[in-house]
Structure 1
């Protein structure tokens, strides 16, 4: 998920199978409905890694101690079952390099067996795994050798990626190589893992590993869909794409878009995300349409997948404006349907996230369909929000109905895609297309 802080402005300135007993792969659906998680954010039992060290050092982004997060490591079976009950057909998670290779060349078979069982449960539940190879976390020993300032990291990363792909090939997995590369860079700089002036070298290595991983995955897992999801930042996206995505555009099977915060002339509240106060941002659901249109125009013919979308609340409290998680979910799905009706090849939508988790230094932003009080509830009870029933209904009905009117109307002169989204606004109201 997008971790916004002041470092984004620094970045903008710097940049002008082997698994037994699983069974056959799940058949491809007509539309991918999914939920998303990530390893460090949700698993608990954190091994030595760059982020474990940031948390222990209390770098500037850290507000809360990690503790056990949502302890997905020991609750995965029930969480996967919760996803199944929603009706989703995709379950996104990451296989954590720091967990399976705690020391150079030493593989932890117990942790590999854990991921084997995660994949087994996902496939048995009728879902396709969406496996992220790198969700901003690398082993502590990689940090010791310089992190992304070292070519050795590139080579070790690719060796680990091959290990994971060889293990879970042939199961119909969708593969994400690197989660939000430009925000990855932002966080490494902000937490002291990389000097700001070395940003171009990290980006160059991320480009290299994605391109190599794309070819490797297609050689080992023919027919698999591979991408790297990008955090869509209104107005600035062109600059951010020039630093990574434009260099890998021939190595993408779909454009993976993470959309959280939009902007318009009557809504500039996204500035709160720069301070980590995500819950103060006024949602801009129509912006997801313009984000999708931006990539439909930029990469004609390339399918589009909303890999992450969700709404944070302040410690699970209701928003002062009364806008609910269900409102947010329906409104964004409405605009995804509008995009599809207007000819955009949208193939999937993932909700971020299945449960509340550790939002890169804080438990205050709550994105989960299920609430988990990591700081106050030792049992880590999963409590459904209003959006659980809503998402289940949306999936069953292939989206919102033709008569749906968004709770939050379009902003005045959206600038999500710069002047293009203002001068060429979507028809509103307009036609809808079912998803699946």
Structure 2
């Protein structure tokens, strides 16, 4: 039995579900002729207008938490000019959650940024922490009274992961070319090690054309979005942005529990891979400890494990079940990650993302059962895990890979926007009903 007060819910990200996020940098990238996105988000799941319907579905299934993000590009579409209507919209979303007995867990920045921020250097600019701080102060001053949990930044480490996986992909492609078999390179081995939808093959194919187009759109060949490959200095900028946000939140809304989320693999060292596995864990998690140890909680986001041999990351074992995203089906990885994180972080942990891309909902049901069994064992051993947010509430726009992958507890018909709950929604809700 999960502990009293344990939150069970589902998660979304604004850009992936709201639709028509026209002031964001990722919207601009999607619309480009030489985009690495296979398709644009357009109206996505129309969640900006249909949020009440979606939250009602979540609540009626028994879930008692909803993790969602506020879209900075909507709130501050022009630098220094805040849209009060957008702020009121998110106030309505928060109130809707509470009407349905659902705890709102808000993320302030989930990958997409205002176009103007990226135009001014994005997440490699020394001015970004100040600009993020201004946004955070505005939004927390307006909405903080109604919130209990705030994630400042989603997957603060994703830029480092993208840099590493992009380099791995390039090496794989070069090796294939040497063998005169470049036409067979799919990139799946590299892409399956990244816990977000990236289209690395197309990124390489259109790179030169895209750089020319980016010069016209952003004024630079390689715009530094949050999901760009990140430098060490860029990583420091992200951490400074988080620290500034944390200070603001504690001053303006001291009752709010504040943290960030990290994309974490259950890193398994194969014989001879121990040193590389430790290096990968340090890059993914350990080196953030000096900053996050002052946080109230850490958002743990996990989808699979990572096998590390003497030559680095290895593909899933032969014959292993793979998801639509190319990940190894590995719900037990969540327990491994929680235990690894808890060795160095003693404050509250919350699973802010965990899920599976599949059209076989029975496998999602099995995934949820096994993942929550692992969480239950962690709680029984005294690890302070306070909640589980499944990714995702509904099928959505999976970044560069478009709408083909289905992570949702709810199916969304792209033609009619009709919502159809899957059995997995009620299954997840049964844990909340059972344990509360």
Same fold (TM over 0.5): yes
Aligned to 2:79: 104
Whole-Å Cα distance in 2 between the matches of residues 271 and 231 of structure 1? Answer: 22
Q: Which of 134, 143, 161 pairs up with 2:118?
A: 143
- 1:174 and 1:155 mapped to 2: Cα distance? 22
CA–CA separation in structure 2 for the residues paired with 1:94 and 1:269: 32
* Residue 369 of structure 1 pairs with residue 409 of structure 2: yes
Trace 1:9-408 onto structure 2 (pairs within 5 A): 30-57=5-32, 61-184=36-159, 192-194=222-224, 199-235=231-267, 236-243=280-287, 245-263=288-306, 278-299=324-345, 301-313=346-358, 317-318=359-360, 324-361=363-400, 362-374=402-414, 377=415, 379-398=416-435
Count of matched residue pairs: 358
Distance 1:38 1:138 in 2: 12
Shift of 1:371: 0.9
Partner of 2:171: none
Deviations along 1:261-310, one digit per CA (max 9) or x if unpaired, are 12569x965599xxx974443311221111010111111x3122111111
Does the CA-based 8 Å contact 1:211-1:251 persist in structure 2? no
CA distance in 1, matches of 2:116, 2:398: 24
Q: TM-score, normalised by structure 2?
A: 0.76
- For normalisation by structure 1, the TM-score amounts to 0.76
Conserved? CA contact 2:265–2:304, under 8 Å:
yes
CA distance in 1, matches of 2:399, 2:33: 12
- Structure 1: unaligned runs, 5 residues or longer: 1-27, 399-435
CA distance in 1, matches of 2:43, 2:234: 30
Deviation (angstroms), 1:197: 8.3
Q: Which runs of 5 or more structure 2 residues have no equivalent in the other structure? A: 167-199, 204-221, 268-279
Taking structure 1 as reference, are residues 337 and 59 closer, same or farther at Cα in structure 2, changes over 3 Å only?
farther
Aligned partners of 2:376 and 2:31: how far apart in 1? 43
- Distance in 2 (CA, whole Å) between partners of 1:277 and 1:366 is 10
| CA-based RMSD | 2.8
* 8 Å contact from structure 2 (residues 24, 113) kept in 1: yes
Report the 3-state secondary structure (helix = DSSP H, G, I; strand = E; otherwise coil) of the residue aligned with 2:396.
Answer: coil
Asked if structure 1 preserves the Cα contact closer than 8 Å seen for 2:159 and 2:229, the reply is no
Cα pair 1:255 1:305 within 8 Å, conserved: yes
Q: 8 Å contact 2:307–2:315 — kept in the other structure? A: no
C-alpha distance 61-292 of structure 1, shift in aligned 2 (>3 A): farther
Aligned CA distance change for structure 1 residues 58 and 234 (closer, same or farther; 3 Å): farther
